[in-house]
Amino acid sequence: AALAGFKPTADPKWDGVDLTELLTNHTPPATRPLYAVAPQWQARSVRLGDWKLIVGGSKNSNNNELYNLASDPQESNNLAEAEPARLQTLLKVMADISRADKDSVVVE
């Protein structure tokens, strides 16, 4: 949208980033958390760098899965118990992001 010169008249609450610098100067964008929610909050996930947290069940579930995707791209070794500090960090990142879960939901 930025490359095309589009300027919205209201805040569309996009969750993407402007890739102009990547496309024109080959400068990668800053690392940012990637957050996803399954239909009806059956599961949520957040990825930050090499780490991915999956929280299954309801929005308040304690079913946590934590993976280091650099060393375990198949997500076969759940590190939630072995990495409690990292788990807490990613749970906080998820909680901060999820406050805006319904901000960009299209309602007709």
Of residues 83, 62, 61, 63, the one with CA closest to residue 72: 83
Query: Residue 100 has what DSSP assignment?
Result: T
CB atoms within 10 A of CB 55: 24
Helix segments in 1-108, DSSP class H: 20-25, 84-98
pLDDT tens figures, 7-30: 888 887 777 788 888 999 999 888
Using 50, 70 and 90 to split pLDDT, how confident is the model at 49? Answer: very high
Nearest to 57 by CA among 46, 45, 67: 45
pLDDT for 57-80, tens place per residue? Answer: 655 556 899 999 999 999 999 999
Please tell me whether residue 73 adopts helix, strand or coil conformation.
Answer: coil
